Amino acid sequence: MASSNSVKTLLLSENDLMSAGVMDMAACVNTIEDVFRLLGEGDYLMGGPLENEHGQMIFFPKKERFSGMPVTGPDRRFMAMIGYLGGKYNICGEKWYGSNAENHKKGLPRSVLTTILNDADTGVPFTIMSGNMISAMRTGAVPGVAAKYLARAGAKSVGVIGGGVINKACLLAIKTAVPSVEEAYLYDISPERGKAWAEEQSKVLGIRVIYVDSIEGAVKPADIITIATSGTSFPRIETDWLKPGCLVTFTGDADLDAEAFSRNTVIADNWKMHEAFLADGREHPDGIEAVSVVAPSYHLLEYIDAGKYDPSGIVSLGDIVCGKIKGRKNDGEIIMFLTGGMPLHDIAWGKSLYDNAVKKGLGTEFLFFGEAHWK
């Protein structure tokens, strides 16, 4: 029998999380909005001495140095993303991130993720959770919250660049946060996949989702644009394709000219984190290009590093959500919203699901130890 000093953790599978409500986008958007409010208030910590590191990542080499050592490739990363979130959460947590675009050839998702939540005082891990659906839903919820605060009133159309899992979550969140949305225009490099994606999402969301055969066709009519592609090729978007008053959300990066940023408003999920990306790139032997695998702000960071863009006017969404700064200024303003992915979102959505799981009696309890052998 376990003693009062025992350490237990609740193991939650993806099926457990489905039963706990991981697919409830309205609840997820509310949770992520709450996180942005805490960010604006400053009640959080992330890794590194500046408290805003995205995570600690292994930068795999371009060539194999030893037999079996992984080499860099499309969306190949292994990293630990850590954070503390205050408010009603008051927990520490970590997202373990393993990713490789080549996983699809092995019948695996591109990313295989784990979420761990810890008591903020003792460090005890009270749950270890399958992280893929947590991550996908919270990733989609971020542009949903951005659209709620930054999209033009009455926005009706969404341009979708990339017909993958993440844009399913992004479009669902945008429709959830902006009920006026009536249609979406999808571009994907695979017409067959894109047409199937559009047909499926039309039924799921109850709106018209139309496959178009060019990026321009998806961007030009859109009040809100969601970009979520992976790999080493970035979708090219011309500045004059952007509709006056549109919101562009960068869950994945895109190739835009510097003027697209300098002529319009740039808002970040957490600009301090993107500054940390920039610092990492400047320290890496390969320069800013090294962070292209992880930072959807990569092209903007290149322009900053080359002196082509002044970032002093960039603000963070948390400051808007908590009321410190005004968001959209007028209906004609084009806003570029940069995301980078913060473990704080996984921690918060994971904690909400953990609470639901406990209430429903889900999961499997694992005993770390009944009485520590050494103390």
Average pLDDT, the chain: 94
Based on the fold, state whether residues 321 and 357 are members of the same structural domain.
no
Q: Distance between CA atoms of 50 and 39, rounded to whole angstroms?
A: 14
Q: Which of 348, 317, 321, 339 is nearest to 28 (CA)?
A: 348
Q: Do 221 and 289 fall into the same domain?
A: yes
CA 120 to chain centre: 24
Same domain, 93 and 178: no
Residue 282, domain extent: 143-342
Same domain, yes or no, for 112 and 224?
no
Predicted pLDDT of residue 77: 85
Long-range contacts of 120-126 (CB under 8 A, 24+ apart): 120/84, 120/90, 120/91, 120/92, 123/92, 124/7, 124/9, 125/9, 125/368, 126/8, 126/9, 126/10, 126/354
Residue 38, helix vs strand vs coil: helix
Instruction: Tell me, yes or no, whether 64 and 181 share the same domain.
Output: no
Any domain includes 374: no
- pLDDT tens sequence across 254-277: 999 999 999 999 999 999 999 999
How many domains does one find in the chain?
A: 2
Element at 187 (helix H, strand E): strand 183-187
Residues 22-39, mean pLDDT to the nearest whole number: 98
CATH of the domain at 46: 3.30.1780.10
- Residue 301's beta-bridge partner residues? none
Confidence category of residue 313, pLDDT binned at 50, 70, 90: very high
Tell whether 203 and 337 lie within a shared domain.
Answer: yes
pLDDT of 82 > 90? The answer is yes
Is the pLDDT score of 28 beyond 60? Answer: yes
Considering the domain architecture, whether residues 61 and 170 belong to the same structural domain is answered as: no
- Whether residue 248 is found in the same domain as residue 302: yes
Whether the pLDDT of residue 78 is over 50: the answer is: yes
Residue 239 and residue 101 share a domain: no
Question: What is residue 190's three-state secondary structure?
Answer: coil
168 and 231 assigned to the same domain: yes
In terms of domains, do 212 and 335 share one?
Answer: yes
DSSP line for 262-314? HTSEEEES-HHHHHHHHHHHHHSTTGGGGGGGT-TTHHHHHHHHTTS--GGG-
Residue 2 lies in a domain: no
What's the pTM value of the predicted model, to 2 decimals? Answer: 0.93
Q: Does 1 fall in a domain?
A: no
Q: Is residue 114 located within the same domain as residue 49?
A: yes
Task: Classify residue 88: in a domain, yes or no.
Answer: yes
More confident call, 320 vs 59: 320
Please give the average per-residue pLDDT across 100-120, as a whole number. 91
Segment among 39-43, 53-57, 213-217 with least mean pLDDT? 53-57
pLDDT at 1 over 90: no
State the pLDDT confidence band at 332, using cuts at 50, 70 and 90.
Answer: very high
What are the tokens at 145?
A: 């919250």
Task: Give the mean pLDDT of 218-235.
Answer: 91
Quote the pLDDT of residue 2. Answer: 40
Q: pLDDT tier at 4 (50, 70, 90 boundaries)?
A: low
- Count of residues making up the chain: 375
Better-predicted residue by pLDDT, 46 or 5: 46
Side-chain half-sphere CA neighbours of 358 within 13 A: 10
Q: Residue 163 corresponds to which tokens in the numbers above?
A: 């017909």
> Tokens 């079996």 identify what position?
68
C-alpha–C-alpha distance, residues 360 and 339, integer Å: 33
Q: Residue 224's pLDDT band (boundaries 50, 70, 90)? A: very high
Mean pLDDT of 353-365: 98
CATH assignment at residue 274: 3.40.50.720
> How far apart are alpha carbons 269 and 134 in whole angstroms?
18
